[in-house]
Amino acid sequence: MALRLRNSVWISFIYLLTFSMAIPVFTPSMSFIADPEFEVPGSLSLQEYDIGNEIRAMPGSKKALSYPTPLTNYTIDAFLQEWSHIVNGSTTITYVNHADSGLAEMYFHLYPNAFKPYGQIDVKQVEYQGAPIPYSLDGTDQQLLRVVLDSGPGPGVLNPNNNVTLMIKWEVLVPESKDRFGWFHRGSPFEFLAYNMGNWHPIVCVYDDRGWHTAPYTFMGESFYSDVATYDFTLSVPANYIVAATGELQDISSEISRRDWHFTTGPVRDFTWCASPDYQTASILVNGVNVTSYFVPEHNLGGLRTLEVAEECLEIFGNLFGPYAWASLRIVEADFWAGGMEYPQLVMIGQSLYDSPEGISNLAAVTAHEIGHEWIPFSIGTDSYTEPWIDEGFASFCEYVWVEYVYGQSDRAEYRLHDLEYYWNFVAGNGDVIINQSMLFWESEPFRYYPFVYLKASLVYDMLRHQVGNTTFYQAWQYIYDHVLHQNVRASTIQELFEAALSESLDWFFDQWVFGSGVITLSLGNVSYQQSVWGWLISFDLYQIESAPIALWVPITISTRMGNESFWVWKSAESVTSHTLLVTQEPLTLMLDPHQYLLCQYLTSSIPLIVIPGIPLPYVIVGGLGIAMLVGAGILIWRWRRK
């Protein structure tokens, strides 16, 4: 039985009424919160697929979602020279200064230069009103383009709420690389030529109260951070190529040898595309969202499986976190080293995963993970260089959510337990660290990256859900979605938004699990029990050992002869806290966090209760009356005989 009472006044009244005849006097712990229960959000039946080796323009539904305006706009014209693996073209950007100060210069990321000498981007010229203006290449491996605005031929200082239009002419050499940026050709066991064009074009850096964010490319994780903008993208490719891209396909030209693919977008954080002559496609419509899977014919089952998972995720995540923010989603099979890679409205899934698509496979789990990224960091923006745990932990948590709602809580518990055991095994040998750290730290200790940025972070999200209650947790996420959709947030912002949604401080949680570190060890002790007329009273102490005391809700399960009864008790920030619980049946065992909801270790987590039953008060009264009657009868007989 899971108690859902949160109002301590009513709880105290109920307990006083219920336990007024109990000895000793019962003092309840603070109000209990729920052991979360779950409901499947609607039908997840798979619709009929639209399968073919061609794709048509399907703009899907238009969504009336709010976002900051006016938006920066990119107009990109690109030409793929497949014989040289060069993409050349130009970007016309109308940049809007949303900062509080004027800008004398602008910075753009040139991520392809991280791949030198095999790949790079060559900036040919930067123009303002048709005339060249000064620029320079700066940063690690010349990954930054610095454009001088306040020079003679330039527009001058860009004041707040004003905009400037620049044209950047460029040429991109695509490296032969099985990566999120690169081309590859596989001749065995089947032919497969494809281009993965992630983080490939000049994109303006974020400017905020901390200045320009100019973090370099990292190969270990992500360092991408951008504001939302709109894109108008035209790409010329050979006529036999299929193109998957961010945004909505508007039209395809009908030239003989080449075709121009034209896409436009709403507010998105980047523009990505993939192209191949070998793609087969399958599409499905999910609540007005057109989902298309791109795969080689030999992986037909895997391609259809990603569609099935996408339908489930759009239903589940959309109901729990807020509606999917765009009209289309593309899932692309990619022959690269990573399991998957996320981009706005497009995710790449590693080709090696397509061989075993059934059930809770790596293909399905990675697809769920990457689709989770569409909510963070793309609907709600985060800095994946400064605070990578926010988006990777969230997407990993989305894997738990997908398993839970599709396969049930037992499968979800087993899936999560695997991550928990991996994390604890790692911590046992390497210690704990703060998850809210930048890629600068994780690159210096790369062996810690996965256990903390992915696993611990996902477990922290999951623990927060249990701490505040399942319904409250998802209502808070919808509150966050409504308030910061298409905006950028930090870890502190997420805490503030959660607190606003819950109307209470969460310092006790975030200070330890996000901004702090250290293993928390709990133990049970001083267990006593008392039978009363209403049931069994069990008293116990919770001990926090070694580390500084923290506050949190602690799950307690008491096994009885008729089953388990579950509670959540509030452990305040003290080394020892005392608690008393009531169960209706004879207790057998007192268990501390048996489902391992908390990121804690336990010195003593289970105590058998060898109970000698007491005599209930009604029996005492009846027995007393019986004895009194016998004594009275004896006295009457004695007096009668004396007469």
Last residue of a domain, one of 272, 306, 325: 272
Q: What is the reported pLDDT for 635? A: 63
CATH of the domain at 542: 2.60.40.1840
The answer, yes or no, to whether residue 71 has pLDDT greater than 80, is yes
Residues 24, 113: one domain?
no
220-239 pLDDT, tens digit each: 999 999 999 999 999 999 99
Residues 138, 26: one domain?
no
Q: Is residue 602 part of a domain?
A: yes
pLDDT band at 289 (very low <50, low <70, confident <90, very high): very high
- Average of per-residue pLDDT values in the chain: 87
Task: Name the residue with higher pLDDT: 17 or 432.
Answer: 432
Give residues with Cβ within 8 angstroms of 543, minimum separation 6. 522, 523, 524, 525, 575, 576, 603
Q: Is residue 171 part of a domain?
A: yes
CB 549 within 8 A of CB 574: yes
Last residue of a domain, one of 247, 272, 297: 272
Q: What is the reported pLDDT for 224? A: 97
Q: What is the reported pLDDT for 638? A: 52
Task: Name the residue with higher pLDDT: 516 or 609.
Answer: 516
CATH of the domain at 265: 2.60.40.1730
Residues 299 and 305: their CA atoms lie apart, in Å, by 10
Q: Is residue 398 part of a domain?
A: no
Residues 171, 220: one domain?
yes
Domain count, the chain: 2
Residues 240, 105: one domain?
yes
Q: Is residue 178 part of a domain?
A: yes
Q: Is residue 226 part of a domain?
A: yes
The mean-pLDDT minimum among 21-35, 151-165, 357-371 falls in 21-35
What share of the chain in percent tops pLDDT 90?
79
Q: Is the peptide bond before 377 cis (omega within 30 degrees of 0)?
A: yes
Q: What is the reported pLDDT for 6? A: 28
Residues 20, 116: one domain?
no
The mean-pLDDT minimum among 141-145, 255-259, 367-371 falls in 255-259
User: The tokens of 45 are what?
Assistant: 């039946």
Residues 16, 133: one domain?
no
157-176 pLDDT, tens digit each: 999 999 999 999 999 999 99
Residues 201, 262: one domain?
yes
Boundaries of domain holding 267: 71-272
Q: DSSP string of 580-641?
A: EEEESS-EEEEEESTT--SSEEEEE-EEE--------HHHHHHHHHHHHHHHHHHHHHHHHH
Cβ neighbours around 17 below 10 Å, total: 8
Q: Is residue 90 part of a domain?
A: yes
The answer, yes or no, to whether residue 618 has pLDDT greater than 80, is no
Question: In sequence order, what are the beta bridge partners of 590?
Answer: 558, 607
Q: Is residue 438 part of a domain?
A: no
Helix, strand, or coil (residue 224) = coil
Cβ neighbours around 387 below 10 Å, total: 26
User: In angstroms, what CA-CA distances link 569 with 30, 555, 581?
Assistant: 7, 6, 9
Q: What is the reported pLDDT for 405? A: 97
Residues 102, 224: one domain?
yes
Q: What length is written for the chain?
A: 643
CB 350 within 8 A of CB 334: yes
Q: What is the reported pLDDT for 639? A: 61
Q: What is the reported pLDDT for 11? A: 31
Residues 25, 112: one domain?
no
Residues 549 and 159: their CA atoms lie apart, in Å, by 50
Residues 75, 199: one domain?
yes
The answer, yes or no, to whether residue 531 has pLDDT greater than 60, is yes
Task: Name the residue with higher pLDDT: 606 or 619.
Answer: 606
Per-residue H/E/C for 133-200 = CCEEEECHHHCEEEEECCCCCCCCCECCCCEEEEEEEEEEECCECCCCEEEEEECCCCCEEEEEECCC
The answer, yes or no, to whether residue 613 has pLDDT greater than 80, is no
Name the amino acid, one letter, at 130: G
Residues 87, 15: one domain?
no
Model confidence, pTM: 0.87
Name the amino acid, one letter, at 386: T
The answer, yes or no, to whether residue 40 has pLDDT greater than 50, is no
Residues 421 and 455: their CA atoms lie apart, in Å, by 10
Q: What is the reported pLDDT for 186? A: 86
Q: What is the reported pLDDT for 33? A: 33
Residues 104, 245: one domain?
yes
Q: Is residue 557 part of a domain?
A: yes
Last residue of a domain, one of 272, 295, 326: 272
Helix, strand, or coil (residue 122) = strand
The answer, yes or no, to whether residue 52 has pLDDT greater than 80, is no
Q: Where do the H-state alpha helices sit in 373-408?
A: 388-407
Q: What is the reported pLDDT for 553? A: 97
Closest CA to 440 of 169, 140, 10, 152: 140
The answer, yes or no, to whether residue 307 has pLDDT greater than 60, is yes
